[in-house]
């Protein structure tokens, strides 16, 4: 569709329309360059390693958030679901002496259940996802607090497998964790499922135009329910990565997870209107959020500017999405 008369702007618009991950990838590269000029220590292998370790939990949560936003939904209960799963994993292992692996499976199952409940309310009771997850945000938070009695569980009381995700993996000068590797594997698997399978096509079609998808013979309710369920499983796995990363299971963890995960998805180029975007963009989006946090503190700037920058990025990203969507004639 490249016409000869196209201006440079139109050409950029078309390019971004075809490859939505280009936007966040260039922002990531530009911000890394900018922060390394501000403080050369930013490019230090220790700093970069820490940055990637820190991003693992947010990035895993953001995968689930991406899939839900692709269906034109939104999940405000991300953090609450992960905290609940985290407390189930830690408590059952430390207090009820459930074997570690089984405790993790229990936590993931609880994550899946939270997703299933959200999906059930969205597809069967036909409530808007925003309202459903606003409600379950409070409900899952309350259940998590009630279940744990507000008590934290420390790594010393946990079986080794619970903090396995915090183990270091050295690659050259860089120090990653098994949690980071797990996060990358989850990105690869979900990216494959979304782009190479019929289920993935149906997720995009359902988010794009639900009625059209239904008329094409897609069982849209089943697709939506499966998306919420898979997202719940991912939140359960994120809880495991979180325990390994922080070394303590506490209801005070992940206070900003809901908004941060949405921020990562939006900066990553996935449209809040559904049907457009990719998990690869979300990986860039999550990294951008982390790069800003790390870079701004290393540059010796007050941390409030990090919050400010994040807000500006979100608005720019959504404005860019609106502009790209105008390609539809």
Binding site for another protein (CB under 8 A): 1, 17-18, 192, 196-199, 201-202, 204-205, 208-209, 211-213, 215-218, 275-276, 327-329
CB of 12 to another protein, least distance (A): 15
End-to-end CA distance of the chain: 12
Cite the beta strand spans of the chain per DSSP E: 153-154, 168-171, 174-177, 248-249
- The residue among 24 and 207 lying less far from another protein, judged by its C-beta, is 207
Comparing CB distances to another protein, the nearer of 126 and 326 is 326
- Other residues' Cβ atoms within 10 Å of the Cβ of residue 4: 4
Phi then psi for 168, rounded to 5 degrees?
A: -85, 145
Smallest separation (angstroms) from another protein to the CB of 72 = 11
User: What is the closest distance, in whole angstroms, from the C-beta atom of residue 189 to another protein in the complex?
Assistant: 10
Structure tokens at 134: 């606003």
Structure tokens at 240: 């495991």
Question: In whole angstroms, what separates CA 27 from the centre of its chain?
Answer: 18
Q: How far is the CB of 329 from another protein (least distance, A)?
A: 7
**In Å, what is the CA distance from 196 to each residue of 58, 192, 203, 269?**
25, 5, 12, 20
Whichever of 213 and 248 has its CB closer to another protein, that residue is: 213
Distance of alpha carbon 232 from alpha carbon 271, whole angstroms: 21
CB of 277 closer than 8 Å to CB of 208: no
Q: Nearer to another protein by C-beta: 310 or 321?
A: 321
> Between residues 197 and 256, which has the closer beta carbon with respect to another protein?
197
**What's the min distance (Å) between Cβ of 321 and another protein?**
12
Nearer to another protein, 16 or 289 (CB): 16
- Residue closer to another protein by CB (options 216, 255) is 216
Residue 226 CB, shortest distance to another protein, in Å, is 13
CB of residue 5 vs another protein: minimum separation in angstroms?
16
What the block records as the tokens of 66 is 């991406």
Residue 283 has a CB neighbour count (10 Å cut-off) of: 25
**Cα(79)–Cα(1) distance, integer angstroms:** 42
Q: How far is the CB of 303 from another protein (least distance, A)?
A: 38
Strand, helix or coil for residue 217: coil
Is residue 86 within 8 A of residue 61, CB to CB? The reply is no
Sign of CA dihedral 136, 141, 144, 145: negative
List helix spans (H) across 45-77: 45-70
The residue (of 163 and 280) whose beta carbon lies closer to another protein is: 280
């Amino acid at each position: 569709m490249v016409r000869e008369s196209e201006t440079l702007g139109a050409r950029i618009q078309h390019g971004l329309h075809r490859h939505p991950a280009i936007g966040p990838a260039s922002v990531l590269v530009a911000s890394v360059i900018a922060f390394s000029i501000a403080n050369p220590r930013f490019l230090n292998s220790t700093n970069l390693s820490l940055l990637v370790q820190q991003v693992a939990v947010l990035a895993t949560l953001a995968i689930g958030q991406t899939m839900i936003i692709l269906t034109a939904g939104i999940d405000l209960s991300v953090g609450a679901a992960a905290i609940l799963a985290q407390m189930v994993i830690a408590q059952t292992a430390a207090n009820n002496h459930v074997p570690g692996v089984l405790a993790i499976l229990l936590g993931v199952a609880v994550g899946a259940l939270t997703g299933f409940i959200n999906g059930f309310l969205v597809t069967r009771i036909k409530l808007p996802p925003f309202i459903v997850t606003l409600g379950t945000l409070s409900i899952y938070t309350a259940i998590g607090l009630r279940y744990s009695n507000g008590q934290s569980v420390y790594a010393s009381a946990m079986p080794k497998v619970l903090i396995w995700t915090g183990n270091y993996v050295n690659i050259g000068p860089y120090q990653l964790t098994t949690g980071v590797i797990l996060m990358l594997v989850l990105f690869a698997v979900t990216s494959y499922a979304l782009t190479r399978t019929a289920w993935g096509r149906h997720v995009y079609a359902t988010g794009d135009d639900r009625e059209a998808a239904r008329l094409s013979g897609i069982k849209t309710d089943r697709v939506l329910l499966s998306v919420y369920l898979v997202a719940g499983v991912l939140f359960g796995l994120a809880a495991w990565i979180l325990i390994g990363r922080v070394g303590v299971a506490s209801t005070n963890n992940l206070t900003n997870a809901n908004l941060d995960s949405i921020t990562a998805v939006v900066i990553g180029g996935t449209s809040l209107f559904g049907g457009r975007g990719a998990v690869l963009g979300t990986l860039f989006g999550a990294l951008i959020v982390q790069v800003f946090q790390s870079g701004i503190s290393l540059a010796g700037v007050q941390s409030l500017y990090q919050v400010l920058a994040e807000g500006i990025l979100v608005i720019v990203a959504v404005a860019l999405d609106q502009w790209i969507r105008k390609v539809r004639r």
